[in-house]
Amino acid sequence: MSEMIEFTRPDGQKAPGYYTQPADGANRPGVVLLEEWWGVTDHIKHTADALAAAGFRVLVPDLYRGRVAAIGDEANHLMQGLDFGDAANQDARGAAQYLKATGSAKVGVIGFCMGGALTMLSAMYVPEFDAAVDYYGFPPPEAGDPGTIKIPFQGHWASHDEFFPIARVDQIEARFKEAGVPHEFHRYDARHAFHNPNEPGNSGLGNYDKVLADLSWQRSIEFLKTKLA
């Protein structure tokens, strides 16, 4: 079952989201999926459906409120207009609260690219999350201290990422180790967005790697099943 729903943010505002669940999903663990900078594309919906097929109730907050980018410049414009603090503390948190209120004892968060940066922010600031999986992205240092994260955190990083340099990943991992954050980081001989086979528009990336995409996805599912059990 999949449908567009509305959920309530902590500030009382309504927000839209794509919801999908397994056939017997009433009490399954929940996952909030945070979109790439393209928006809630068919690929993001398919990714949510894949999570549902693996046994999770999934809610994708529509951060752009129905808008989807077709080219990189448009995606960058939409992302630049997004309030990241609001997206994490209101949309992502509201989605987690919705899943917990409707049957999921534990809820994780997973995000890609822009959504990966929001995943780290959510792990830092949203108390409802029980585990986090981050693909590629991280917020700027001024957004907060990643060492404050308390929940299990899994990161999937591209060693040749032109948007999120691996040197910064090394710094974040050093901070995690210093602070005792429960984590596992996986680095891949790949470029940005290696998990996405069909980016919209003429992005010029073309970095999809099926072998690494499948490997990282298997690791993600196993991690979420273990940490949200």
Q: Tokens at residue 102, please?
A: 């409707």
156: β partners? 135, 186
Number of domains in the chain: 1
Residues 26, 55 contacting (CB under 8 angstroms)? no
pLDDT in tens, 182-214: 999 999 999 999 999 976 544 445 799 999 999
Structural domain span for residue 220: 2-227
pLDDT in tens, 149-174: 999 999 999 999 999 999 999 999 99
The model's pTM: 0.96
Return the CATH number at 95: 3.40.50.1820
pLDDT in tens, 15-30: 999 999 998 877 899 9
Q: What is the mean pLDDT of the chain?
A: 95
For 34-57, b/e burial (b = at least 16 CB within 10 A) is bbbbbbbbebbbebbebbbebbbb
pLDDT in tens, 53-90: 999 999 999 999 999 988 788 889 889 999 999 999 99
